[in-house]
Amino acid sequence: MVGFVGGYAPVGAGLTQVTGSGEARDVVCNVRVRQVARARAQRAPRTVLRASLQSSSSPSRREQMREAVITNDAARIAELVADVDVNQHDAATGNSTLLHIAANRGNNAAVTALVDAGADIDAENDNGMTALLFAVCKGHVRTARELLKAGADVRHITTQKADALLYAQEYDQPVMLEFIQAYHEALDRNGTGIFLRWLDDNEPVIAE
């Protein structure tokens, strides 16, 4: 039972003097107890909802990393690598990785940061596509160059039985096609100097 102070019990917003029998006082107390319980029950869901909204409004470290890759923020990527698996595949994007996302956008700083963080250079998505092939399809020559410098397999074959040369042709990327052909020539001659010089000589015509 709620205790009384000086013969008064809280009722509504103020104090009301309690008179009469003990039974009457018990009725007042029981009413007040129910009012307090009802008020608490009404407030509780709001508190839980507020906490839930605050929690959902804070992006996870994984989401922050994805945003850093999309915005080509190499410094932010370096800050987050300790908490995020850079080789995790995302089912929502056909099991692509962060490196696929960076290559698809031509975000060279992000590509370099992810490679430095240990990204699997030849990780495949559901179709057997690698980050290099994403860059090829979009015509991102500089990105392709960075990936090849990091050891990407230019002869990789997808589940569609296609390689970088075929994708460059199919996606109508003439500059990329010339670049990949030059790289193949460099490989056949046991070096990559030719394709690196070709890129430097043709810098003005390379579109990103």
Q: 1 in a domain, yes or no?
A: no
User: What is the count of structural domains for the chain?
Assistant: 2
Q: 3 in a domain, yes or no?
A: no
b/e code 29-42 from CB counts within 10 Å (16+ = b): beeeeeeeeeeeee
Whether residue 112 is found in the same domain as residue 138: yes
Coil vs helix vs strand at 63: helix
pLDDT in tens, the chain (208 residues): 444 334 433 444 443 444 455 555 554 445 555 565 565 555 544 444 444 444 455 789 999 999 999 999 999 999 999 999 999 999 999 999 999 999 999 999 999 999 999 999 999 999 999 999 999 999 999 999 999 989 999 999 999 999 999 999 999 999 999 989 988 888 888 666 666 666 666 665 555 5
Torsion on CA atoms 178, 145, 158, 166, rounded to nearest 10? -10
In this structure, what CATH number is given to the domain that contains residue 92? 1.25.40.20
Whether residue 68 is found in the same domain as residue 45: no
Domain that holds residue 174: 61-205
At 203 the pLDDT is 61
